[in-house]
C-alpha cells in the first residue's frame, strides 16, 4: 500500500516536472532544495511545490489558520447561532472550511467537540467528517486536527480515555521512560480520535512559586530535567504520527501573571535565558521537534520593544529560526488571549505572521483575521513569498505525517482508548509521583484505628479522598469548603476537628490563597496532628511550615487522589522527589519514604 502511494506521488511529480518550467520551483522562497538530497527528498519537494503553484492566494492564507468551532458534527445544526454569535465566521465547520480554506481546527471541551466524558465514536466521526470535507475542496488539503492534551490539569480527552497525573508528577518520578510511556499512550488515544497535532509537551522551566498559569504543567525547575522529559515525549508523540508542539517559547516559567488575562514580563538576563529558559527548546529542536508554540510574554533581554514574543521578529525569526536553527512550524498561542492583544485586533494576526509565525491559532474573530491577512498580502505589506514559506512548511508537515495519502482514522481505533493496560500505566506513574516532604513523629501512614477528618476546598477533592480511605477500612469523615473558605466554613472545619484523632487538609494553590492559609492555621490551633496534602502546586508549605506532615500530588485528577490514598494508608511507599525547590524550606530532590 505504502509503495503504491509513493509510486503515485513520484509519477505525478515526474509528469509535473515535464509540464512546468524549472523556474517555478523557486517561486515564493529561497529554493529549499538542499545539496545532497536524494530522489525521494526532491520528489517530495516537487510535489509540495506543485500543490502550491495551483493554490490561490485565498487558499494559501486559509492554510495559516487553525480555528475553533462549536459542534459535535461538521454541520451540527444546534450550534449554528452560537458559531455566528461568537465570530466564528460561519455557522458550522463545513462552511468555515469552504469559506476560509482553513489549515486546521482545535478541539475543546467547552466547544462540545469533545465531551467530558467523551463519546469517542462521536469525536472519531467528527474528525473523519472534517477530513472528508477538506479533501473534497477544489484544492484537497488535509486538516491539522489539534488539541491540548498535556496530561494532568490540561487534558481535553478525559474519561473514558487515560487520565495522567501531569508533567510535574512525571518530573517527580525522574523517569524519562514513564514520560515517554505517557506521551505514547496519549498519542495513541489522540490518533484514535483522528487528532494529529498536540499542543504538548510543555517545555517551560517553572522557577516561580507564584506562577499562576504554568506551575504543575512544567516538569520542574531544572532545565536538564525538563529537557530530558520533553525530548522523551517529543519522540513518543512522533512515533504515534502526532505532531508534537513544544511550548511556550521562549519560556513561560518565571512569571506571576497569566497571559490569558495580562501581559507577563520575564526579566531574565541573556545568560539565564540561554542556560534555563531556552535550553529545553534547543533540546527539542535537536531531537527533531516539528512545531513550537510561542508565548505571549515580554522578554526585554531579547526584544526591548515591549512586544510579546508572539509578535516579536527578534525572538521568533532572529533567535528561534536563525540562531537556534529551528526549521519547523512556529505556532502562536491562542490569539484570543489578552497577552497577544497589545495592538488593534485586526493587526494581531498580521503582526504575528510578520514576526515569523507560520500558524495563527484560534483567532477571536475568524473573518476579521482572515481578511486582515489577505489585505496585508494584497497591499504588499506581506509578500506572497513570505506566505509561501509558511505554506510550504505546513504542507510538508502534513505530507510527512501521511495525511495526504489518507487523513481519516479507522472507527475501530477507538478500542485503543482507556485500555486496562493504559490505565495501569497511569496508576503506576501516580504511585511513583506522590512526594512526602515532611512526616513528624512518624504520623504517616495513618493508623486504621483512628478517626480521621479530611477537609479542604472542593478543588482539593477531600470527599473523594475520604471515599478512597473509607474503602480501605478507615473511619473517615469529610468536610468540603469553597476554594477560598469563608469564616463560617473555617469555624465548622475547626469544630469537626475536635472529634478527630488526625486531620488531613487538601489544599489547592494555598501559597497564593490567604483564606486557605487561614483554614490551615485554624486547624493547627486545635492541637490535633495535622497533615497537609497539596493537591496542585507543591509550594503551599511555604505558608504553614510547622504542620506535622506534608505531601504533594501535583494535580487533582482522580488518578492522583487515588495514589495519595494509597500513600496515606501505607499501601504505597512514597517515592517521588521534589522537582522544584520549596524556598527556604526544602531543596530540589528532597523526599521521604516509610
User: How far apart are alpha carbons 470 and 330 in whole angstroms?
Assistant: 50
Cα dist from 85 to 38, 70, 130, 209, 449, whole Å: 51, 11, 22, 39, 59
Q: Out of 148, 333, 365, 388, which one is annotated catalytic? A: 333
**What strand order describes the sheet that includes 104-106?**
329-331, 291-294, 243-249, 197-198, 144-147, 104-106, 65-67, 360-361
Place of cell 488518578: 559
Contact 454, 476 (CB under 8 A): yes
256 is catalytic: no
The residues, ordered by sequence, that sit 6+ positions from 114 with a Cβ below 8 Å of its Cβ are 107, 108, 123, 147, 156, 157, 193
> Residue 360 phi/psi, 5° resolution?
-100, 105
Cell of 186: 496519549
- Provide DSSP, 120-160: HHHHHHHHHHHHHHHHTSSS--PPEEEE-EEETTEES--TT
Residue 594's Cα: distance from chain center in Å? 34
Start-to-end C-alpha separation, the chain: 56
Q: Out of 119, 256, 258, 260, which one is annotated catalytic? A: 260
Which residue from 86, 56, 64, 51 is spatially nearest to 373, judged by alpha carbons?
Answer: 64
Residue 587, Cβ density class (10 Å: 0-12 exposed, 13-18 middle, ≥19 buried): exposed
Which residue from 469, 468, 528 is spatially nearest to 502, judged by alpha carbons?
Answer: 528
Cell of 204: 517551560
260 is catalytic: yes
Cell of 330: 512556529
Contact 201, 154 (CB under 8 A): no
User: How far apart are alpha carbons 209 and 586 in whole angstroms?
Assistant: 13
Residue 225's Cα: distance from chain center in Å? 18
Contact 255, 218 (CB under 8 A): no
User: How far apart are alpha carbons 463 and 458 in whole angstroms?
Assistant: 8
DSSP helix/strand/coil, 405? coil
Give the residue numbers marked as catalytic: 260, 333
Amino acid at each position: 500500500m505504502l509503495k503504491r502511494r509513493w509510486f503515485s506521488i513520484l509519477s505525478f511529480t515526474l509528469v509535473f516536472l515535464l509540464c512546468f518550467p524549472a523556474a517555478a520551483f523557486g517561486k515564493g522562497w529561497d529554493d529549499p532544495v538542499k545539496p545532497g538530497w536524494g530522489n525521494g527528498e526532491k520528489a517530495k519537494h516537487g510535489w509540495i511545490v506543485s500543490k502550491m503553484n495551483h493554490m490561490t492566494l485565498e487558499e494559501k492564507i486559509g492554510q495559516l489558520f487553525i480555528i475553533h468551532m462549536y459542534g459535535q458534527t461538521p454541520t451540527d445544526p444546534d450550534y449554528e447561532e452560537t458559531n455566528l454569535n461568537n465570530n466564528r465566521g460561519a455557522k458550522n465547520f463545513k462552511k468555515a472550511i469552504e469559506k476560509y480554506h482553513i489549515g486546521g481546527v482545535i478541539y475543546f471541551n467547552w466547544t462540545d467537540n469533545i465531551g467530558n466524558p467523551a463519546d469517542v465514536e462521536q469525536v472519531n466521526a467528527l474528525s473523519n467528517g472534517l477530513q472528508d470535507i477538506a479533501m473534497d475542496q477544489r484544492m484537497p488539503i488535509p486538516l491539522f486536527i489539534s488539541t491540548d492534551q498535556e496530561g494532568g490539569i490540561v487534558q481535553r480527552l478525559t474519561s473514558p480515555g487515560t487520565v495522567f497525573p501531569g508533567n510535574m508528577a512525571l518530573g517527580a518520578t525522574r523517569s524519562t521512560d514513564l514520560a515517554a510511556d505517557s506521551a505514547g499512550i496519549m498519542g495513541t488515544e489522540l490518533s484514535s480520535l483522528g487528532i494529529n497535532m498536540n499542543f504538548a509537551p510543555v517545555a517551560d522551566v517553572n522557577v516561580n512559586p507564584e506562577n499562576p498559569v504554568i506551575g504543575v504543567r512544567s516538569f520542574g525547575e531544572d532545565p536538564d530535567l525538563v529537557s530530558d522529559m520533553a525530548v522523551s515525549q517529543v519522540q513518543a508523540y512522533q512515533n504515534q504520527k502526532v505532531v508534537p508542539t513544544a511550548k511556550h517559547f521562549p519560556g513561560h516559567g518565571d512569571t506571576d501573571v497569566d497571559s490569558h488575562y495580562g501581559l507577563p514580563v520575564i526579566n531574565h538576563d541573556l545568560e539565564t535565558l540561554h542556560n534555563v529558559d531556552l535550553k529545553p527548546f534547543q533540546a527539542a529542536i535537536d531531537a527533531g521537534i516539528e512545531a513550537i508554540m510561542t508565548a505571549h510574554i515580554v522578554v526585554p533581554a531579547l526584544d526591548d520593544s515591549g512586544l510579546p514574543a508572539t509578535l516579536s521578529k527578534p525572538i521568533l525569526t532572529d533567535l528561534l529560526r536563525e540562531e537556534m536553527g529551528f526549521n519547523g512550524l512556529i505556532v502562536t498561542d491562542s490569539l484570543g488571549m489578552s497577552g497577544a492583544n497589545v495592538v488593534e485586533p485586526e493587526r494581531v494576526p498580521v503582526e504575528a505572521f510578520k514576526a515569523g509565525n507560520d500558524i495563527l491559532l484560534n483567532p477571536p474573530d475568524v473573518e476579521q483575521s482572515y481578511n486582515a491577512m489577505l489585505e496585508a498580502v494584497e497591499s504588499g505589506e506581506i509578500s506572497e513569498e513570505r506566505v509561501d514559506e509558511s505554506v510550504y512548511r505546513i504542507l510538508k508537515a502534513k505530507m510527512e505525517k501521511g495525511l495526504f495519502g489518507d487523513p481519516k482514522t479507522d472507527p475501530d481505533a477507538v478500542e485503543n482508548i482507556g485500555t486496562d493496560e493504559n490505565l495501569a500505566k497511569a496508576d503506576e506513574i501516580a504511585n511513583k509521583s506522590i512526594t512526602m516532604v515532611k512526616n513528624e513523629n512518624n504520623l504517616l501512614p495513618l493508623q486504621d484505628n483512628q478517626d480521621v477528618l479530611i477537609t479542604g476546598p472542593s478543588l482539593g477533592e477531600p470527599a473523594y479522598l475520604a471515599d478512597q480511605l473509607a474503602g480501605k477500612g478507615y473511619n473517615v469523615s469529610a468536610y468540603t469548603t469553597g476554594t477560598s473558605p469563608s469564616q463560617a466554613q473555617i469555624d465548622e472545619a475547626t469544630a469537626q476537628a475536635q472529634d478527630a484523632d488526625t486531620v488531613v487538609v487538601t489544599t489547592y494553590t494555598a501559597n497564593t490563597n490567604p483564606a486557605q492559609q487561614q483554614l490551615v492555621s485554624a486547624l493547627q490551633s486545635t492541637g490535633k496532628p495535622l497533615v497537609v496534602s497539596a493537591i496542585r502546586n507543591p509550594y503551599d508549605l511555604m505558608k504553614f511550615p510547622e504542620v506535622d506532615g506534608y505531601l504533594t500530588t501535583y494535580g487533582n485528577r482522580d488518578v492522583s487522589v487515588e495514589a495519595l490514598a494509597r500513600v496515606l494508608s501505607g499501601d504505597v511507599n512514597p517515592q517521588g522527589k521534589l522537582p522544584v525547590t520549596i524556598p527556604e524550606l526544602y531543596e530540589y530532590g528532597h523526599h521521604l519514604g516509610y
